[in-house]
Amino acid sequence: MKYDEIDFQSAKTLNVAGHPHWRDGTGLAGLQKIWLLALSPAIVASIWLFGMKSARIMGLAIAFSVLLEALCNAVVKTKERTTNWHSVTLAVLFSFVMPCDAPWWLVLVGCFIMIVIGKKLFGGYGAYPVHPAMLSYAMLLVSWPRRFDYTASCSLIDWPVKMIEPLRLIKTGGSAMADMYRWQDLLLGKQVGGIGNALVLYLLLGGILLLILRQVPWQIPAAFLAGHGLMAWILCLIDPDQFASPFFYLLSGSTVFAAFFLAPEHTTSPANRLPMFIYGLLGGVLLMLIRAFSVYTDGLAFTILLINLCYPLLDKITPRVLGIEAVRNA
């Protein structure tokens, strides 16, 4: 081609942007899809164990959450899209702590608190200070404590175990009552609880998937479980009549659910490695303390809310910036 023949305007349709041009490719929707993939073993197990009761609650929660989110996005001008799947993940996490006989209005009120108050009022995905699902759970728990009596909700289910919440057994009867549950039953989720928060093995599978896919930094779940086990062990040494072995506490209630799915939530967990470790440790210890000394049998909601409030403070522990001395000397 000769120089005179060039049309310098010919390539106007080229796409330009700043570097880097390669992206990891996950995207916010992809991120949520991976979380849902990790939650799917527990979802399937929940439907298998509780039948249509759990499918009903999860379906209601997802429908209400997505509708409320779409409504909020329509009313308030925002960059966030309903299509980023975040409300679905939140709805699944929220429905996991519901009792299997929850009425529809309880789910609706929970979703309203979670999406409208817990998430959108603070500014949407990335702006809320505490986990919206746990905020909603805590408010419902305080408002309708009777509705969240898992033992009553599971009274019609016939499993070959003692149909009383394992943590309540320990709380009322001392460590001798721990023999009423075999560890296999606890692991396989055959324990009285919400529709998904006590499915230990399936949640563990999903959690390990999240760790392998590097979606969740290993520090938070590892420190959470370690802190919980350590605190339980110390209490067990002090008063073996009242407190069961650490393994019982790790396998019962929502310890694994909190360690893998609630504590490492992106927005409400620290960004640096050492603070993440302290955050997890704090969560584990706090969960055990609430279980041991409060009126609540499982301190899930309050543990997560309290450590979420601590995270900005923990994140002040930052690593040394490399090369900054040279800038100062220059």
Partner 1 sequence: MIPIRTLFKPLAHVPVYPSREENIERMPDPDYVLIPLEYPGQIFYKPTVKQDDAVRKNQIIGRSELGNCVHASISGVVKEIKPIWSSRSFNVPAVVIERNDHPPLSRDELFAQSGVPFQSASRLEKLKVSGAISPWTLPGRHHQEEDVREFPPIRKIIIKGADEEPTLFAFELLLRQEAEDILSGLKHLQQLAPNAAIFLTMSRRLAGWGTEKYGKHAAVVGLSDAYKDRIERRVVAKITGSDIPNILPYRKMGVAVLSVEYLLTMDRALEGEGPFIHKYLTIAGRPLEKAVTVRAPIGTPIRTILENRGIEKHPYARILVGGAMKGNAQFSDQTPITKSSHGLFLMDRDEIPEEINLTCINCGRCTRACPVCLQVHLIGRYVEYSMFEKAREFHPEACHECGLCAYVCPAHRPMAQLMRMAKQYEV
- Taking CB under 8 A as the binding criterion, the range among 186-194, 247-255, 260-268, 291-299 that sits at the site for partner 1 is 260-268
What is the size of the binding site for partner 1 (CB under 8 A)?
59
Q: Does 105 bind partner 1 (CB under 8 A)?
A: no
Q: Does 273 bind partner 1 (CB under 8 A)?
A: yes
Q: Does 6 bind partner 1 (CB under 8 A)?
A: yes
Contact 253, 198 (CB under 8 A): yes
Contact 151, 165 (CB under 8 A): yes
Closest contact distance (angstroms) between CB of 326 and partner 1 is 5
- Give Cα separations from 179 to 44, 51, 150 (angstroms): 28, 28, 20
Contact 243, 170 (CB under 8 A): yes
Q: Does 323 bind partner 1 (CB under 8 A)?
A: yes
- Taking CB under 8 A as the binding criterion, the range among 75-83, 170-178, 199-207, 300-308 that sits at the site for partner 1 is 75-83
- Give Cα separations from 195 to 66, 81, 150, 153, 269 (angstroms): 20, 29, 9, 10, 25
CA distance 316 to 319: 9
Between 84 and 303, name the residue whose CB sits nearer to partner 1: 84
Q: DSSP 3-state assignment of 245?
A: coil
- Residue 217's contacts (CB-CB under 8 Å, 6 or more residues apart) are 264, 273, 276
Q: Which of 75, 238, 295, 324 binds partner 1 (CB under 8 A)?
A: 324
CA 166 to chain centre: 21
Site string for partner 1, 289-318 (x = CB under 8 A): -----------------------------x
Q: Does 69 bind partner 1 (CB under 8 A)?
A: no
Binding site for partner 1 (CB under 8 A): 1-3, 6, 8, 10-28, 30-31, 33-34, 79-81, 123-127, 212-214, 217, 266-273, 318-327, 330
